Structure 1
Amino acid sequence: MPSTLWAGPETISGSMRRGEVPVQGTRRTGPVRLQLGFAGDGFGYAMDLGLPRPDVGSGAFALDPEIKVETVWSGPVARPAAVLAHRRGPVVRVRDGRSWSELTRSLADYDSMLGHVADPHRAPELLELREQLRGWRFYDHLRTDAAAPARLAPVGTRTPVLAHDGADLAAALATIQEIGRSAVLARTVDAAFPGSRIEVSVDSGRFSLALRQDGMLRPMRADELSDGTLRYLMLTAALLTPRPPELLVLNEPETSLHPELIEPLAGLIHAASEEMQVVVVTHSGALQASLADLAGAELERVELVKELGETTIAGQGMLSRPSWTWPSR
């Protein structure tokens, strides 16, 4: 856990920010904690992680995080009256009308109540929230190196959802073709690589991908494609998924892409946003500009800046922050 914690002082004073005094630590006044949470129209969730108590001891796992508190509430703000389930230490309680019902007193410190006490009868909200979180999709490690699985010919099955590393790319593209979106896929590929089309061949259950390009005498196999071309095809499979999630996150999708692919990528992302919420983390000004041109007022832009090593949201002050309350320990 220490490697994930803030490496600066517990508080940064105004004089430190103005450069009047050097940045230096003081005696810690609060517990070591890592807080995670989100809020939506339906449910909100927050988790408070910390270290094991020194007097209890954890043997070889003294640096493993413990879940101190978990809270689930209804709506975007964690008001006391909106709390539906609460976990403190090993005890989990859920709201039962005007009172509270205790589900367990023995939940392990390293287990979440979402994974171990979600019940369709006693805690349907926890079950619904768990399935919601499981449906979120994150692509931040699409492999394009020489040994990337997508460059091989793996055994394939019907694949409505691309794997997080793009390993089943050929099967995912074949699935898009066979469910009736072959024309959309063909237009998407042609927009990025004019005159090109993908070919998926199957031999003894193994799926191979190739890209036939204008002017080439033979199609280029997946192991011959450039990193940028392979990545773009992975992004295509992810965004044209036949099973769109509620939330899809792309981390630096512009990596390795030729500048001419940025505009088609923006169009692909914008089209996908009609079916799902898409969050794009990018350092590309060109991609930001293209998305802004396409999405207009529908695009919500959040700029992150670094000040004294601390990552913050540009222009956000005390009065412009979203309403949020962390559950107390």
Structure 2
Amino acid sequence: MTIRSVTIQGFRSIHHMNLTLSRLNIVSGPNGCGKSNLYKAVRLLHEAANGQLSQAIANEGGIQKIMWAGGHRAGDRSKDPKRMKLAVEMEHYEYQLEIGFPEPLITLFALDPLVKVEGIWLSGYQRRKMSELLERTNQAAFLKNVDEERIAYPMSLTPEESVFGQLSDPHLYPEVSQVRETMKNWRFYHEFSVSGNSPIRVPQVGIRSPVLAHDGTNLAAAFETLRERGNSETLFEVLEKAFPQTQFYVQEMGGRFQMMMQKQGILRPLESAEFSDGTLRFLCLAVALLSPRPPNFMALNEPENSLHPDLLPALAMLIAEASRYTQLWLTTHSNELVEMIKHYSDVQHYQLDQVEGKTVVKGASLIDED
């Protein structure tokens, strides 16, 4: 269930933007133009599906820190400055979430979000009533059940969380549950834990791990799982391109796994504690992108960070290969990486800029910023 488009309104520097997505999507631009804001907005949809909407917003500093703070044109009533809207259209379903501020006179929790509106529709019906699967306004909701009946949800909803995090008896609402599970299975990779005291650098209990953790802490187990069950030929081809005359493998010690590296000219293998930050980061990217259990959608935020320019050709090949199995969203400030990826694959490329505090897209007719 790939994503056809994403609409974001009133989120940080994004006043209003609609992006049409393809298989491999790249968002680039200078520092401070709003690339990471787009990434975070899409991730917020994922967190809503996981029942972590208010916590995710708290991690960003609270509702006041993520709402649009720019100006509005006189007479523009189409966009509520006190409301944020996130929407996604997938192959079969559309989902929309609208968030506002809590009432300060009623609660001390002034940084919590307040879910105002939430809806799910079948795609292709222009959101007609007949296609509606979920209609939520504040704490009341109507859902279409397994018998195709529109019924009132029997419980009052918590105002700061999505319906997804409160849905009991999901088998009664199969289509709503399918949307939730689809969005929960999206994957996001932003920062890997590669510091000197990182769990990646010390032996960890090894369990089969077809999915790399968001912070990469199960790297050794995920690497070995990929070697045994996944596309190991591509993995080692990419690693040879990135690190010539170097072999990577997992050492097992009493059930604990550790990444090892044998480099030509060095007489002993190196343990993961001795790897450079860039080496560990590249290994994490390779294992994440070649997962033997690929997701429908994966987003990477500035994957080139801390990588030497010599690693970019291998990274480009890796990203293009992964896009054969997963819809990818990539934010980057490396034009060199973008051009390398285009050598391997067709790309939907959005170039961003910021004008008077507003994130805008340069010369793309598929964008609706107003």
- For 2:123, the equivalent position in structure 1 comes to 75
Is the CA contact (8 Å cut-off) linking 1:154 and 1:208 kept in structure 2? yes
Instruction: Report how many residues are paired.
Output: 304
Q: CA deviation at 1:315?
A: 2.1
Q: CA deviation at 1:108?
A: 1.1
Q: CA deviation at 1:217?
A: 1.2
Report sequence identity in percent.
Answer: 36
Higher relative contact order (CA 8 A, sep 6+): 2
229-238 or 94-103: which moved more? 94-103
Q: Which has the larger radius of gyration?
A: 1
Q: What secondary structure is seen at the aligned counterpart in 2 of 1:143? A: coil
Question: Do structure 1's residue 259 and structure 2's residue 312 form an aligned pair?
Answer: no
Question: Do structure 1's residue 66 and structure 2's residue 114 form an aligned pair?
Answer: yes
- For 1:310, the equivalent position in structure 2 comes to 358
What is the rounded CA distance, in whole Å, between the counterparts of 1:288 and 1:118 in structure 2? Answer: 44
What is the rounded CA distance, in whole Å, between the counterparts of 2:102 and 2:217 in structure 1? Answer: 38
Q: How does 1:98-113 map to 2 (within 5 A)?
A: 100-113=150-163
Counterpart residue type for residue 97 of structure 2: M
Q: Which runs of 4+ in 1 moved over 6 A?
A: 96-99
Question: For residues 24-51 of structure 1, what are the alpha-carbon distances to aligned partners after superposition, in whole Å with 9 as ceiling and x for unaligned?
Answer: xxxxx94512222211111111111111
- For 2:64, the equivalent position in structure 1 comes to 2
Counterpart residue type for residue 288 of structure 1: V
Q: What secondary structure is seen at the aligned counterpart in 1 of 2:91? A: coil
TM-score (normalised: structure 1): 0.85
Question: For residues 75-111 of structure 1, what are the alpha-carbon distances to aligned partners after superposition, in whole Å with 9 as ceiling and x for unaligned?
Answer: 1675223322111011110246897311235111022
Counterpart residue type for residue 88 of structure 1: T
Q: Which residue of 174, 185, 204 corresponds with 1:124? A: 174
The root-mean-square deviation of aligned C-alpha atoms, in Å, is 2.5
Extract unaligned runs of 5+ from structure 1.
14-28, 325-329
- For 1:189, the equivalent position in structure 2 comes to 239
Is the CA contact (8 Å cut-off) linking 1:118 and 1:127 kept in structure 2? no
What is the rounded CA distance, in whole Å, between the counterparts of 2:352 and 2:363 in structure 1? Answer: 9
What is the rounded CA distance, in whole Å, between the counterparts of 1:271 and 1:35 in structure 2? Answer: 33
TM-score (normalised: structure 2): 0.76
- For 1:20, the equivalent position in structure 2 comes to none
What is the rounded CA distance, in whole Å, between the counterparts of 1:316 and 1:272 in structure 2? Answer: 25
Q: CA deviation at 1:149?
A: 1.8
- For 2:43, the equivalent position in structure 1 comes to none
Is the CA contact (8 Å cut-off) linking 2:140 and 2:157 kept in structure 1? yes
Q: What secondary structure is seen at the aligned counterpart in 1 of 2:303? A: coil
Is the CA contact (8 Å cut-off) linking 1:118 and 1:124 kept in structure 2? no
What is the rounded CA distance, in whole Å, between the counterparts of 1:31 and 1:6 in structure 2? Answer: 7
Against the structure 1 CA distance between its residues 84 and 322, is the aligned structure 2 distance closer, same or farther, given a 3 Å change threshold? Answer: farther
Q: Which residue of 289, 300, 306 corresponds with 2:348? A: 300
Q: What secondary structure is seen at the aligned counterpart in 1 of 2:153? A: strand
Against the structure 1 CA distance between its residues 76 and 234, is the aligned structure 2 distance closer, same or farther, given a 3 Å change threshold? Answer: farther
Is the CA contact (8 Å cut-off) linking 2:230 and 2:290 kept in structure 1? no
Q: CA deviation at 1:255?
A: 0.5
- For 1:159, the equivalent position in structure 2 comes to 209
Is the CA contact (8 Å cut-off) linking 1:77 and 1:323 kept in structure 2? no
Q: How does 1:126-141 map to 2 (within 5 A)?
A: 126-141=176-191
Q: CA deviation at 1:181?
A: 3.7
Q: CA deviation at 1:316?
A: 4.3
Structure ranking higher in strand proportion: 2
Q: How does 1:149-298 map to 2 (within 5 A)?
A: 149-179=199-229, 181-295=231-345, 298=346
Q: CA deviation at 1:120?
A: 4.2
Q: CA deviation at 1:150?
A: 1.1
Extract unaligned runs of 5+ from structure 2.
1-62
Against the structure 1 CA distance between its residues 159 and 131, is the aligned structure 2 distance closer, same or farther, given a 3 Å change threshold? Answer: same
What is the rounded CA distance, in whole Å, between the counterparts of 1:322 and 1:69 in structure 2? Answer: 22
- For 1:91, the equivalent position in structure 2 comes to 140
